[in-house]
Amino acid sequence: MNCGRHDLDLAWPRVMGIVNVTPDSFSDGGAFTSLDAARAQALRLVAEGAAIIDIGGESTRPGAAAVTVEEELERVIPVVASLAPILDVPISVDTSSPAVMTAAAEAGAGLINDVRALRRPGALAAAAATGLPVCLMHMLDEPATMQQAPAYEDVVGEVSAFLAERMARCLDTGIAHERLLVDPGFGFGKDLSHNLRLLDGLPRLVELGAPLLVGLSRKSMIGALTGRAVQERLAGSVAAAVLAVERGARIVRVHDVGATVEALQVVRALHDHRAAA
């Protein structure tokens, strides 16, 4: 997949490293708000094996308040502009704002990662104009309210139908199919049962024909299953990443890059062994 200045090889699943430049993200809020800290974290994650770095300037944790476009631009664009000339992997920008999409592309970003699937006014046109790949995520409602009794009759089918509709809108707007990725949105308007059904049902989402990006790292479902606090969810997060890859995910978005890369090396070794047998 062409991501601006870089190509992203998805012949084998890849690890996306998270760098949140926010004061209030659920796991690492406030840790990387300075430019130097964000740069250092991105470089560390690439050294650990991240094939793409995802920069986010708006917390989308359950209950999170929206930020202004000006705040998001001030947080994100200097980091992208600083990293683009020195990283040898693509930079993804986690944003729903058309203005941030445009500015990030101009600063050197290679992918747009939108939790709202380009539903904000002007987002479809802005994303199309960048020429960059776009990840479309399913989210029920908005972060401030999405966990207030989410309900589905068939969560996998409904998420699949939503993503198919958003893909069709992208195609109608001039965003080519080969520029699209999809994300089921674990934890975004889903309870534990919904998340487990989605994880088991990932092969149905693969049938949409776009690379599947999955974010399970340190999320509340891992805490619910293990009883661990946010910073103690490494083992559960790595297990979830492996299960997602085995069910068809091509990109796993994680905080703990090194451990996830090593786990996927084991998965790949078994895959290669089976192929050679």
Quick check: is 190 catalytic?
no
Spell out the residues 6+ positions from residue 5 whose beta carbon is closer than 8 angstroms to its own.
84, 90, 108, 110
Contact in structure between 217 and 263 (CB atoms under 8 Å): no
Kind of pairing between the strands at 6-7 and 2-3 = antiparallel
Q: One of 219, 233, 247, 250 is an active-site residue; which one?
A: 219
Distance between CA atoms of residues 228 and 225, nearest Å: 8
The owner of tokens 């094939």 is: 51
Spell out the residues 6+ positions from residue 119 whose beta carbon is closer than 8 angstroms to its own.
96, 166
User: What is the CB neighbour count within 10 angstroms for residue 162?
Assistant: 19
Quick check: is 75 catalytic?
no
In angstroms, the Cα distances linking 50 to 73, 220, 259, 270 are: 24, 23, 11, 21
DSSP character string of 9-46: --SS-EEEEEEE--S--TTTTTTT-SHHHHHHHHHHHH
Contact in structure between 238 and 259 (CB atoms under 8 Å): yes
Distance between CA atoms of residues 37 and 41, nearest Å: 6
User: What is the CB neighbour count within 10 angstroms for residue 62?
Assistant: 17
Residues annotated as part of the active site: 219, 253
